[in-house]
Amino acid sequence: MSDDMEEVLERQERERRVRMHRRAAIKRAQRELNEQLGVAVALLEEEKKSRRGSREGRAPNVDRHRHSRGKNLMEDYFILQSMYSDVHF
């Protein structure tokens, strides 16, 4: 066999090994990602179950819009042009 042919065959073998390593790395990454997604889904499901209420079987907690109520309180009472005058206090 000529030297050129041997070089071509060696190059092809190196390229084949590189492709195999890449495929193996991609498969490992996909398995790890699938495992991470599975854990994330399980955690979300667990969190969802724990949010149902204060005790098992109870209705979900009611959103009382606490953040907007605090903002309204500040706007109604604690600004320069408040809704209520000193007379009301």
pLDDT, mean over the chain: 82
d(CA 68, CA 70): 5
Residue pLDDT, tens place only, 41-68: 999 888 777 655 566 667 777 788 877 8
CB of 84 closer than 8 Å to CB of 76: yes
**Which has more confidence, 26 or 57?**
26
- The pLDDT > 90 percentage for the chain reads 40
- Model pLDDT, residue 16: 95
SS3 58: coil
Cα 4 from chain centroid (whole Å): 53
pLDDT exceeds cutoff 80 at 11: yes
**Which has more confidence, 87 or 30?**
30
Length of the chain: 89
**Would you kindly state where each structural domain of the chain is located, as residue ranges?**
1-51
Q: Please compute the mean of the pLDDT values over residues 13-31 and round it to a whole number.
A: 95
CB of 28 closer than 8 Å to CB of 19: no
pLDDT exceeds cutoff 80 at 6: yes
User: What value, to the nearest 5°, has the Cα angle with vertex 31 and ends 30 and 35?
Assistant: 115
